[in-house]
Amino acid sequence: MEEIFTKQEISWLDDVDEEGKIINPKHELYGKNISGKVLYMPAASGSTVGADRLVNLAVHGNAPKKIVLERTDPITIWGAIFGNIEVEIKNKKRKVVDISKIEKLVSDEELAKLLAKAGEILETEEFIPAEYVQIAGVSYKTILEAGLELRRYLSKKYKFRAKYVTINPAGMDIEDWKAQGISEDFAKKQKEIIDIYIKMGAIPIITCTPYLVSNSPQPFSEAFLSESSVVVFENSVLGVRTNREAGLSSLLYAIAGYGPRYGLHIQENRNPKIIVKLKTKLSGIDYALLGYKLGEISQGKIPYIEGIEKAPSLEELKSMGAAGAASGSLELFHISKITPEAKYKLISLKDVEEKVEIGREELNEVKESLNTGKEE
């Protein structure tokens, strides 16, 4: 079986077309097809809805035959589980999970088996209550027909057991979609997706910033969040314990009422691995540029930022986190003396592996790379 290797993260939403071809010109696999191959990759980047896109590839016979990850990646793992694709994490053995323990929490056999499979791959058999859940995978444009069919199936069998469930924005203006030029067919399916979530028990608020408009996890509490920008904001600014879940994993945990305790739910795993020394003052768009750079360099490692003397505004922190989630897979950052875990010394620098400096030159390089406009 043909093998294909990459050192770059892959966005299942943005980097791969429906035939399994890499379409991002900046990716080292650009132009190559991963369908039917054994794919070795670090992890998924970009949107957490990528799990649905991986399922869609599988439904149409265009997914990799097997995926080998360098680190834990819920997006790829859950896309593989629902898409029946073989997946493993390099140099890690699957944990034997006692399904009888899960069945005491979840009476449904199908749900128990899915949670057990996740526990095997994620190397945990400890499951904690999923009280706060935020689900990505609402736009029909991103989950496509395979995603809609899956949600139809789940909604016929289950309701949400999680107490607070919010959902991401849709693929159109719900009331003024005709003015946007949206087709009747798209609008019908988009409304059906939203109705499914609400029927299952979601709070009828459609937003990518639930912490501003609805019940939000208390600082330092446990949550299962899958909107990338929400994950990094609540982890970093509120000290909430959440991994960067896939849209599909957060959906399952909302149904089960429980999710696995692993990764950033464990305090010692929240220690930084990179110290970032900032060599310039920031204002306005600089925070987004810094966040974008952090996403590029972090590669799953948590950065600890030194050199920001004044606490950034809420909007600056939001833009910083969102940019980092978009450019890579940033889940959490710490700012010396400012963000809660750094301020209250809940983290240690004992695990730091590298130090980098970011100055005005590096920020300008990011800005230039994102500037697609041309002077006339």
In 3D space, the residue among 208, 213, 215 whose CA is nearest the CA of residue 247 turns out to be 208
Q: Which residues pair with 280 in a beta bridge?
A: none
What pLDDT is stored for residue 151 in this prediction? 98
Average pLDDT over residues 9-28: 97
Beta pairing class for 258-260 and 38-41: unpaired
Contact 260, 65 (CB under 8 A): no
Buried b (16+ CB within 10 A) or exposed e, 35-63: bebbbbbbbbbbbbbbbbbbbbbbbeebb
- Confidence check: pLDDT of 220 > 60: yes
Q: Which pLDDT value is given to residue 315?
A: 95
> DSSP secondary structure string, 25-72?
TTSTTTT-B-TTSEEEES-B-S-TTHHHHHHHHHHTT-S-SEEEESS-
CB 346 within 8 A of CB 267: yes
Q: Which residues contact 266 (CB under 8 A, 6 or more apart)?
A: none
Please say whether the beta carbons of 76 and 43 come within 8 A: yes
Q: pTM here?
A: 0.93
Q: How far apart are CA 247 and CA 79, in angstroms?
A: 9
Say what percent of the chain tops pLDDT 70.
Answer: 98
Q: How far apart are CA 143 and CA 331, in angstroms?
A: 22
Say if domain 3-100 classifies as CATH 3.40.50.300.
no
pLDDT in tens, 262-294: 999 999 999 999 999 999 999 999 999 999 999
Angle at 48 between CA 184 and CA 329, to 5 degrees: 145
What mean pLDDT comes out for the span 129-151?
Answer: 96
Region 187-209: mean pLDDT is 95
Q: Determine the 3-state secondary structure of 127 from DSSP.
A: strand
pLDDT in tens, 42-100: 999 989 999 999 999 999 999 999 999 999 999 999 999 999 999 999 988 888 899 99
Query: pLDDT tens digits for 226-246?
Result: 999 999 999 999 999 999 999
pLDDT at residue 262, as a whole number: 96
91-95, 120-124, 191-195, 224-228: range with lowest mean pLDDT: 91-95
Would you tell me how many other CB atoms lie within 10 Å of the CB of residue 31?
A: 10
Strand segments, DSSP code E, in 205-297 are 224-225, 258-260, 274-278
Looking at per-residue pLDDT, the higher value among 202 and 1 belongs to: 202
Sign of CA dihedral 167, 171, 176, 178: negative
Q: What is the pLDDT of residue 373?
A: 57
Averaged pLDDT for residues 93-121? 93
The residues spanned by each domain of the chain are 3-100, 110-266, 268-370
Q: How does residue 218 score in pLDDT terms, banded at 50, 70 and 90?
A: confident
> Is residue 260 a contact partner of residue 126, using CB atoms and an 8 Å limit?
yes
CA–CA dist 146, 161 (Å, integer): 24
pLDDT reading at 375 higher than 80: no
CATH architecture of 110-266: 2-Layer Sandwich (3.30)
How much is the pLDDT for 254? Answer: 98
pLDDT tops 90 at residue 113: yes
Nearest partner of 36 among 8, 57, 13, judged by Cα: 57
Task: State the Cα–Cα distance between residues 187 and 68, nearest whole angstrom.
Answer: 37
- Can you tell me the distance from the alpha carbon of 128 to that of 224, in angstroms, rounded to the nearest whole number? 10
Give domain 268-370's CATH number out of 1.10.3470, 3.30.70, 3.40.50, 3.40.1060.
3.40.1060
* Helix, strand, coil tally for the chain in percent (to 5): 40, 15, 45
pLDDT band at 374 (very low <50, low <70, confident <90, very high): low
Those residues whose C-beta lies under 8 Å from the C-beta of residue 257, and which sit 6 or more positions away, are 105, 106, 129, 130, 160, 161, 162
Q: Which residues contact 100 (CB under 8 A, 6 or more apart)?
A: none
Q: What per-residue confidence (pLDDT) applies to 216?
A: 76
Q: How many residues does the chain have?
A: 376
Angle between helix axes 286-298 and 360-370 (nearest 10 degrees) is 90
Q: Tell me, what DSSP letter sits at residue 176? A: S
pLDDT tens column, 309-357: 999 999 999 999 999 998 988 999 999 999 999 999 999 999 999 999 9
